[in-house]
C-alpha cells in the first residue's frame, strides 16, 4: 500500500506537478483543495478532498482516514497586486489556514512538512545572487504572508518537533513534459504563459521598463521548470525523515531578461510575438537570481530543464 502524503493545493499548478512526482516515487498523494483556484482535472494520481485548508473538521477527517506521513503545503493566494489591495484575504488564506494545518499536524502526530515559500520573503535584493542568509524584508503583503508562515514553521519545530523545509521559489515556469499538466491561472499574471498566448494571437506583451541596469535594459529573472520544482519537493520530504528545520532557495542560478524570454519564445513557436513598451512597475527589482548551491547539496538535486524546454513544454501543453 503506497504511503500517503497530504498535498494542500494539489489541484493547482505546482501542486499538481508535485502529485505526479510523488506518485512516481511510490507515494499516494492525497489532495486537499477547495478548487477556488485549482482544477479538478489536475488531480490524477490520488484522491481529492474538496475542502478549505482552514476547515479544521475537514483536516481532522483527512488525517484520520489517510494517516499521511507528511505534508506538501502549496495552498495559498499568490497575486502580489491583489495582496496589496486586499491584505486580509492573504493573511487569512496564507497564514490562518497554515496555522490550522500545523495544529492538525501536531494533534495527529504528523511530523514532516515541505512549505511552498517564495523569494519574495527577501524583498529588494541588497546583493545578488540571493543566498538563504540574505536579510528578509518583503515589499508586499504576499511576501509578508509567506514570511509569517516561515516563522510559524520554525516555532512549531521548536515547540512540537514538526520538521520542515521551506522552499523559496524563484520563477516557476513550463509544463509537464508529457503534456498531462500545465499552467492555467485566472487571471494569468506569469510572463511565459502570457507570452505564449500572445504567440497564439491572444494579446500583446507589455514590456514594463527598458531602462533597467541589465544587459538589454529589461528585468532579469531566474526561471525554474515546474517539474524540477516538483522533484525537489519529493527530495525534501525524504530528507525530513532526519528531522530539522531549514530554508532553501529553488532556482537555477541563471537569469534571463524579458527580451530573452520573448526572443526564445519566438524561436520555439515560430511565431512573431507582438510587444509594446510600458513604464516600469512599482516594486519590480532589476534582477532576481538565486544562489542554488545549498539546495543542490542538501537535496542531492539538479535542475534538468532550461528556458527553451520550459517554453517548449508550455507551448505543447497550450496546444494539447
Domain 3-173+225-250 in this protein, CATH class: alpha beta
Concerning whether 142 is annotated as a catalytic residue, the answer is yes
pLDDT over threshold 90, residue 153: yes
What gap in Å lies between CA 83 and CA 147, rounded to an integer?
14
Residue 195, pLDDT score: 97
Rg (CA), the chain: 19
Q: Helix, strand, coil proportions of the chain in percent (round to 5)?
A: 40, 20, 40
> Cell for 128?
545578488
pLDDT over threshold 90, residue 135: yes
Q: How many CB atoms are located within 10 Å of the residue 113 CB?
A: 26
Closest CA to 114 of 34, 30, 31, 232: 232
What gap in Å lies between CA 127 and CA 55, rounded to an integer?
41
CATH number listed for the domain at residues 191-222+253-318: 3.90.25.10
Q: Which of 134-138, 188-192, 197-201, 252-256 has the lowest mean pLDDT?
A: 188-192
Closest CA to 74 of 58, 91, 93, 89: 93
Residue 287's contacts (CB-CB under 8 Å, 6 or more residues apart) are 125, 128, 212, 214, 219, 220, 221, 255
282 falls in which pLDDT band (50, 70, 90)?
confident
Residue 187, pLDDT score: 84
Judge whether 173 and 230 are in contact, CB under 8 Å: no
pLDDT over threshold 90, residue 189: no
Residues in the chain, how many? 320
**Active-site residue (options: 142, 169, 223, 305):** 142
Residue 132, pLDDT score: 98
| 6-52 pLDDT per residue, tens | 999 999 999 999 999 999 999 999 999 999 999 999 999 999 999 99
What gap in Å lies between CA 168 and CA 45, rounded to an integer?
25
The gap from C-alpha 254 to its chain's centroid, in whole angstroms, comes to 18
Judge whether 82 and 141 are in contact, CB under 8 Å: no
Per-domain boundaries in the chain:
3-173+225-250, 191-222+253-318
Query: Bridge partners of 277?
Result: 207
Closest CA to 118 of 182, 168, 56: 168
In order, the DSSP letters of 80-95 are: HHHHHH-HHHHIIIII
Judge whether 32 and 52 are in contact, CB under 8 Å: no
Residue 6, pLDDT score: 98
Amino acid at each position: 500500500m503506497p504511503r500517503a502524503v497530504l498535498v494542500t493545493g494539489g489541484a493547482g499548478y505546482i501542486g499538481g506537478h508535485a502529485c505526479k512526482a510523488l506518485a512516481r516515487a511510490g507515494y499516494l498523494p492525497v489532495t486537499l483543495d477547495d478548487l477556488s483556484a485549482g482544477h479538478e482535472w489536475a488531480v490524477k494520481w490520488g484522491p481529492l478532498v474538496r475542502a478549505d485548508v482552514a476547515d479544521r473538521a475537514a483536516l481532522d477527517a483527512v488525517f484520520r482516514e489517510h494517516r499521511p506521513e507528511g505534508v506538501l503545503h502549496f495552498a495559498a493566494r499568490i497575486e502580489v497586486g491583489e495582496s496589496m489591495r486586499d491584505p486580509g484575504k492573504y493573511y487569512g488564506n496564507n497564514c490562518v489556514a497554515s496555522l490550522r494545518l500545523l495544529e492538525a499536524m501536531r494533534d495527529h502526530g504528523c511530523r514532516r512538512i515541505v512549505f511552498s515559500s517564495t523569494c519574495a520573503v527577501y524583498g529588494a535584493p541588497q546583493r545578488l545572487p540571493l543566498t538563504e542568509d540574505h536579510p528578509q524584508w518583503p515589499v508586499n503583503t504576499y511576501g509578508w504572508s509567506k514570511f509569517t508562515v516561515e516563522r510559524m514553521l520554525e516555532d512549531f519545530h521548536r515547540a512540537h518537533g514538526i520538521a520542515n523545509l521551506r522552499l523559496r521559489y524563484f520563477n516557476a515556469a513550463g509544463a509537464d513534459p508529457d503534456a498531462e499538466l500545465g499552467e492555467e491561472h485566472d487571471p494569468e499574471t506569469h510572463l511565459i504563459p502570457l507570452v505564449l498566448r500572445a504567440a497564439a494571437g491572444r494579446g500583446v506583451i507589455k514590456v514594463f521598463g527598458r531602462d533597467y541596469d541589465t544587459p538589454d535594459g529589461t528585468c532579469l529573472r531566474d526561471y525554474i521548470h515546474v517539474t524540477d520544482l516538483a522533484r525537489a519537493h519529493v527530495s525534501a520530504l525524504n530528507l525530513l525523515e532526519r528531522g530539522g528545520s531549514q530554508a532553501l532557495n529553488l532556482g537555477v542560478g541563471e537569469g534571463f531578461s524579458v527580451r530573452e524570454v520573448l526572443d526564445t519564445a519566438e524561436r520555439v513557436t515560430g511565431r512573431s510575438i507582438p510587444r509594446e513598451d510600458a513604464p516600469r512597475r512599482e516594486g519590480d527589482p532589476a534582477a532576481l537570481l538565486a544562489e542554488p548551491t545549498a539546495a543542490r547539496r542538501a537535496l542531492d538535486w539538479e535542475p534538468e530543464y532550461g528556458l527553451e524546454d520550459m517554453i517548449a513544454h508550455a507551448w505543447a501543453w497550450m496546444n494539447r
